[in-house]
């Protein structure tokens, strides 16, 4: 099958392929057909004097987003956006599209979101989805080459991993169940079985907050490593994020250009990444005029203020124990903080990774679960991991859509996923 992205292989040849009419201009004697097939965009030029009457009329009948088979000769043209143009000799309409709702004029976001199934066809959205696809591929490439096994945790779960405030409840026959907030607890079991593992799946949080960074359904990559310390965990994270960014830079130049992304900002994303402690971050925030007491969690403005001091992602480590999840390993010298890190993206994109070393000691784990009032019966299997050959281990979770937003330079996560689920949106 011939596709626009591979059209250079057909220079000088006559080709026929399926496409949609993205846009059309006509001078009376020449019709300029902007064609797209998902893989790319190309301009087709039809000259009235050189084609049959039927072909000319067929081209004239095409409305925006009509589908067709087009026949023409591929010509190299340095002025054309993709470097090639098509001298069209015939068009064969498949369906003449109704009046298309998305036009060249500015549309409001809610309108575009209502038409997300069509909005995806626009060049910007197309570019974002291609970068998303490249990132997904790079994630698998990275963990495969680092010797990790891909493990799939369940999506329907009887318990929560990240607290109960944003759980998505559902019935599981006669029992209660929740959509997975994180595969982590299962990935810990998998790490004890397989050593180094990662998951990559949808996660769900009934977030009541309506922000640029929150989706109800998002995708998370969660590696978990046996015998891995906090420090080693950070090294995997910075290598991983560098790999993903560099992979996009190498493979998605054209898409980054469509998005008008400042590539120099991405080129700086090289390991090692700076590390500061929560204590240092608090001090820094005070210097910058924030009035945040020690012990409080950071919000978006705090993360942005910290990230401003760096040209690449920055780790904030050792958060207060009381604001982090029950499974995190307290620092042996200072049990009021845990061996954890959030990775904050540059340019104000906020937290893209949350990770930590996990508690090894069975007694301490039990104590923490009791303090958090967790149902010990429901978590017995998790406690078993500490009772049968417990080892130091660490892992993290990278949010796919936040990472895409940052790399693409877009200002809301809703454009980083094909069909976003938001507080006010379950359609389309
Ligand atoms: O920091 P979080 O909550 O960490 C965990 O879930 C751990 N169990 C991960 C682990 O250690 N295995 O979430 C991890 C990341 C965040 O840093 C963020 O990038 C993303 O998931 N994230 C969201 N992305 C979009 N919408 C939301 N509502 C998100 N909540 C978290
Ligand atoms: Mg977090």
Query: What was the pLDDT predicted at 82?
Result: 86
Give the model confidence (pLDDT) of 35-67 as tens digits: 999 999 999 999 999 999 999 999 999 999 999
How many angstroms is it from 397 CA to the middle of ligand 1?
Answer: 6
Q: Is the pLDDT of residue 26 over 90?
A: yes
Q: Which ligand is nearest to the CA of 299?
A: 2
Inter-residue contact 91 to 62 (CB < 8 Å): yes
CATH topology classification for 4-95? OB fold (Dihydrolipoamide Acetyltransferase, E2P) (2.40.50)
Dist. CA 118 → ligand 2 center (Å): 33
- What stretch(es) of the chain map to CATH 3.30.930.10? 116-416
| Secondary structure (DSSP) of 53-96 | HHHHHHHHTPPTT-EEEEEEEEEE-TTSTTSEEEEEEEEEEEEP
Strand-pair partners of 95: 67
Tell me which residue has its CA closest to atom 18 in ligand 1.
399
Q: How far apart are the first and last CA of the chain?
A: 31
Q: How close is the Cα of 226 to the center of ligand 2, in Å?
A: 21
Residue 293 in this model has a pLDDT that exceeds 90: yes
Nearest ligand to the C-alpha of residue 405? 1
Contact 264, 245 (CB under 8 A): no
CB 134 within 8 Å of CB 248: yes
Q: Which atom of ligand 1 is nearest to the CA of 413?
A: 25
Residue-level pLDDT at 328 = 98
- The model's confidence at residue 153, banded by pLDDT at 50, 70 and 90, is very high
- ∠ Cα 409 412 417 (to 5°): 95
Residues with CB under 6 A from ligand 1: 161-162, 182, 184, 205, 207, 214-215, 218, 220, 222, 351-355, 395-397, 399, 401-402, 413
Neighbours of ion ligand 2 (CB under 5 A): 354
pLDDT averaged over the chain?
A: 97
What does the pLDDT read at residue 81? 84
Residue 264 sits at φ, ψ, to 5 deg, of -60, -30
| Pocket mutation for ligand 1, best pick of 402, 420, 423 (most atoms within 8 Å of C-beta) | 402
CA of 312 to the centre of ligand 1 (A): 20
> Hunting for tokens 């877009």 — which residue is that?
410
Model confidence over 109-151: pLDDT tens digits? Answer: 999 999 999 999 999 999 999 999 999 999 999 999 999 999 9
Superfamily designation of domain 116-416 = Bira Bifunctional Protein; Domain 2 (3.30.930.10)
The ligand placed nearest to the CA atom of residue 166 is 1
| Ligand 1 atom at shortest distance from the alpha carbon of 396 | 11
Where are the domain boundaries for CATH 2.40.50.140 in the chain? Answer: 4-95
pLDDT, position 164: 86
Residues 67-106: tens digit of each pLDDT: 999 999 999 999 998 899 999 999 999 999 999 999 988 9
* Cβ neighbourhood burial of 404 (10 Å; 0-12, 13-18, 19+): buried
Ligand 1 atom index nearest CA of 182: 6
Asked whether 350 and 302 are in contact (CB, 8 A), the reply is: no
For ligand 1, atom 9, name the residue with the nearest CA.
397
Taking the centre of ligand 2 as the mean of its atom positions, its distance from the CA of residue 333, in whole angstroms, is 23
Digit-coded pLDDT (tens) for 298-327 = 999 999 999 999 999 999 999 999 999 999
Of 98-102, 160-164, 249-253, 307-311, the range with the lowest mean pLDDT is 160-164
Residue nearest atom 23 in ligand 1 by C-alpha distance:
399
- On the question of a cis peptide bond just before residue 265, with omega within 30 degrees of 0, the verdict is no
- What is the signed CA dihedral for 260, 265, 270, 276, rounded to 10 degrees? -130
Percentage of the chain modeled with pLDDT above 90? 96
């Amino acid at each position: 099958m011939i596709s626009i992205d591979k059209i250079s292989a057909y220079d000088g040849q006559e080709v026929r392929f399926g496409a949609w009419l993205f846009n059309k201009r006509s001078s009376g004697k020449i019709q300029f057909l902007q064609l797209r097939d998902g893989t790319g965009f190309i301009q087709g030029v039809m000259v009235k004097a050189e084609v049959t009457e039927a072909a000319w009329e067929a081209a004239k009948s095409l409305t925006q987003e009509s589908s067709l088979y087009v026949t023409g000769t591929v010509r190299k043209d340095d002025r054309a956006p993709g470097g090639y143009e098509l001298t069209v000799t015939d068009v064969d309409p498949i369906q003449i599209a109704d009046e298309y709702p998305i036009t060249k004029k500015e549309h409001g976001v809610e309108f575009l979101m209502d038409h997300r199934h069509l909005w995806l066809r626009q060049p910007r959205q197309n570019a974002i989805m291609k970068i998303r696809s490249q990132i997904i591929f790079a994630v698998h490439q990275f963990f495969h080459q680092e010797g990790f096994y891909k493990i799939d945790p369940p999506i329907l779960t009887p318990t929560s991993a990240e607290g109960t405030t944003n759980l998505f409840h559902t019935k599981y026959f006669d029992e209660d169940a929740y959509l997975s907030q994180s595969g982590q607890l299962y990935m810990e079991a998998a790490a004890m079985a397989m050593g180094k593992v990662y998951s990559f799946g949808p996660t769900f949080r009934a977030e009541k907050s309506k922000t640029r960074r929150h989706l109800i359904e998002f995708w998370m990559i969660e590696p978990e490593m046996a015998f891995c310390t906090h420090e080693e965990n950070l090294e995997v994270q910075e290598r991983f994020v560098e790999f993903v960014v560099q992979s996009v830079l190498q493979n998605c130049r054209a898409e980054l250009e469509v998005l008008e992304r400042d590539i120099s900002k991405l080129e700086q994303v090289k390991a090692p990444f700076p590390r500061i402690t929560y204590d240092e971050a608090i001090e820094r925030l005070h210097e910058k005029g924030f009035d945040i007491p020690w012990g409080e969690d950071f919000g978006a403005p705090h993360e942005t203020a910290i990230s401003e001091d760096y040209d690449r992602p920055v780790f904030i480590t050792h958060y207060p124990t009381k604001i982090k999840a029950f499974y995190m390993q307290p620092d042996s010298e200072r049990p009021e903080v845990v061996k954890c890190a959030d990775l904050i993206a540059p340019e104000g994109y906020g937290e893209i990774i949350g990770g930590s070393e996990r508690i090894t000691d069975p007694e301490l784990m039990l104590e923490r679960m009791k303090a958090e009032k967790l149902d010990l019966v429901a978590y017995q299997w998790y406690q078993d991991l500490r009772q049968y050959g417990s080892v130091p281990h660490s892992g993290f979770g990278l949010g796919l859509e936040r990472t895409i937003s940052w790399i693409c330079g877009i200002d809301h996560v809703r454009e980083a996923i094909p069909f976003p689920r938001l507080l006010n949106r379950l359609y389309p």
